[in-house]
């Protein structure tokens, strides 16, 4: 049995990670290795996000929620860059955004 959270999270989380990683690298000047450590993933995964080999395949499904994703990614990246948020809180923020997206998608 799949929970809705598992199903949507499997497609959604790579998109959010992709946007957060891009923001941290392009706006805040972090390296791929630093971003990987902060997001609890590998440098290779970050490279794949940046080259749209991960996180891009589900964009069509979430196209109408892309502004929400981009805004959330920007906020999360800012919190990460300023040191206001740790790994556990990042996971909670991702869950909050995922829940918000689920509500938006289920209304349609």
Residue whose C-alpha is closest to residue 94's, from 42, 27, 18, 1:
18
In a domain, residue 42? The reply is: yes
Say yes or no to pLDDT of 25 above 90. yes
Number of neighbours of residue 49 by Cβ within 10 angstroms = 26
Expressed as residue numbers, the domain containing 12 is 7-106
Cβ neighbour number for residue 65 with a 10 Å cutoff: 20
Instruction: Please give the Cα distance from 37 to 22 (Å, whole number).
Output: 14
pLDDT (0 to 100) of residue 72: 92
Nearest to 15 by CA among 43, 64, 52: 52
What are 27-68's pLDDT values in tens digits?
999 999 999 999 999 999 999 988 887 766 555 666 777 888
Asked whether residue 2 is domain-assigned, the answer is no
Residue 1 counted as domain residue: no
Number of domains in the chain: 1
């Amino acid at each position: 049995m799949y929970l809705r959270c598992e199903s949507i999270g499997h497609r959604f989380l790579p998109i959010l990670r992709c946007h957060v990683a891009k923001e941290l690298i392009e706006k805040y000047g972090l390296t791929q290795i630093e971003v990987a450590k902060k997001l609890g993933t590998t440098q290779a995964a970050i490279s794949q996000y940046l080259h749209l080999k991960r996180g891009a395949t589900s964009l069509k499904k979430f196209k109408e929620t892309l502004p929400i994703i981009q805004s959330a990614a920007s906020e999360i990246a800012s919190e990460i860059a300023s040191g206001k948020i740790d790994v556990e809180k990042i996971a909670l923020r991702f869950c909050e955004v995922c829940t918000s997206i689920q509500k938006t998608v289920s209304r349609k």
